[in-house]
Structure formats: C-alpha cells, structure tokens
Structure 1
C-alpha cells in the first residue's frame, strides 16, 4: 500500500525557493514519510511536499512512504513504534547511513519542504 496523497498532482513548484530544493537534494538523503490518505493535514501538505521532492530531483528510491491507520490505541502502521510516530504527516530525513538529520511533525510555520530544508541546513552548518 502506498500513500496516494504523496503524489505531486497539480501542486505549484514555481514558488519554492531554490535553496529549499538544493537542501532536499543534497547528500543522498532518505525521506521516510508517514501519513494517511484519510488525514486532512496529509491531504493538504503531502502533495506539495511530493512536488518539492520531484522538483529537487530526489529519486523515488530515496523516498519511503508508510501508510498509517487509526487504531484503538492511536496511530498504527509500519515503523510507527520504532520511529515514535503519533501525529501525521511526519517526515524523517536520514543520511544514507541511517542517521536522522531532520524531522517534520504535522505542522510548522512553513511547508514541509521549507521546514526540513531549514533543519538540514542547520545540521550541516553545525558539523
């Protein structure tokens, strides 16, 4: 099962700052995306994020999606417990070696792409 909401659709990428796209494309990062097609936040945010990944040239083999369902005890789905997922959408950015460098949880002031790019840039600057 894959997330239908993680499809660029007709999202506008013209307004995405080039520095955001550059940050997403850098260093062979892996993007792990938890969401639900039933979730309003996911429906609103994930298509634009998918469009940003596409515009940044991130290959599909570096993007994993994990469909989440509502269970009696909260969110259920692949890797939910291992990554501590309790709100969606959640996006975790990891290095090729599996080190987490950024995490977006449900909402931020900007878009998912902008928030992750800011965190990636901050992590890179502190190295």
Structure 2
C-alpha cells in the first residue's frame, strides 16, 4: 500500500510539472492573452502567437556566411541559452522568431535552449528566473559550464546571428 502512495505522489508531482509549461494567461495591464513561465517552441504555434511568430520568422534572412560558421557543432559544447521574453513585447515579437530562424538554419541543438515568458511586470510567476538580473527584454543569456559568457539584450548590436557567434567564440 505504501508503494501505491509513493507512486501516486510521484505521478501527481510529474503531472503538475507537465501542466506548467506553455501557460497562457490574460495580462492585467495589456488585457491580452500572453504566455507566462517556462515555455517551449510549440507554444508559438497557438493562435494567439502564431501570426506574429510566423511573419517575423519567414521574413528574416540571416547572413549565410555567419550561419555556416554557427553550424559548427563544437561551438555548443557545454553551452546553454536562457531566453527571457514577453509575448506582449514588440522587441520580443521581432527577435524571438529571428532567433529560431537562425537556430533552424544553423542546426543549433534546441535542447540547449530554455525559454521563460514574463508578464508586463517582468515576472514569470515561478522560480525559473531566481538569481537572474534583467530590466529589458528580450534577453538572450549564454552560459558555458554554468557560467554566464554573454547577453544580447533587447536588440542585437550587429545582427542577431553575428552577436550569437561573437558570444560563442569567447
């Protein structure tokens, strides 16, 4: 009987973790549906976000020479990328689809990318942003072996793909 309760408790915890991804809420300030908390790329296929995501994804043409350099899988050894964004934010709506266009073109492994959506108060309503300081979004934070190596904040300095390459080459 004890084994049953342990399995039940484990299943309950696991199911609660599954349902916290890709959560959509209505933002108090903007009065529109937004993503909140930890999400994955599939969330951008939902009707609320699909139009702007697909438009900005398909209209972006990254620099082919830089994409070829980003295609070197050795660049991603021990790398993790944390992206903090808001689906209500114009800069996020522009840069996030462009980022995934680069990911697809350069075959960047998606398992090194984590996405956290914030509300207009820049809160994710969970603990995934504890210890991370930011004031503007989107912010792309690059980690090597758990240590931060660089950020792209709000908009790139040169181009998104060039800024990514510069950080990865540090």
User: Normalising by structure 1, what TM-score?
Assistant: 0.75
Q: CA deviation at 1:120?
A: 2.5
Give the structure, 1 or 2, with the largest relative contact order (CA under 8 Å, sep 6 or more).
1
Q: How does 1:1-127 map to 2 (within 5 A)?
A: 1=22, 2=39, 4=44, 9-13=57-61, 15-16=63-64, 17-18=66-67, 20-22=69-71, 26-28=75-77, 29-71=79-121, 75-77=122-124, 78=126, 79-95=128-144, 97-121=145-169, 123=170
Aligned residues: 118
Q: Secondary structure at the match of 1:41?
A: helix
Q: Secondary structure at the match of 1:103?
A: strand
TM superposition shift of 1:23: 6.6
| CA radius of gyration, larger in | 2
Secondary structure of 1:33's match? Answer: strand
Distance 1:60 1:69 in 2: 24
State the 4+ residue runs in structure 1 displaced beyond 6 angstroms: 5-8
Q: Which has the higher helix share?
A: 2
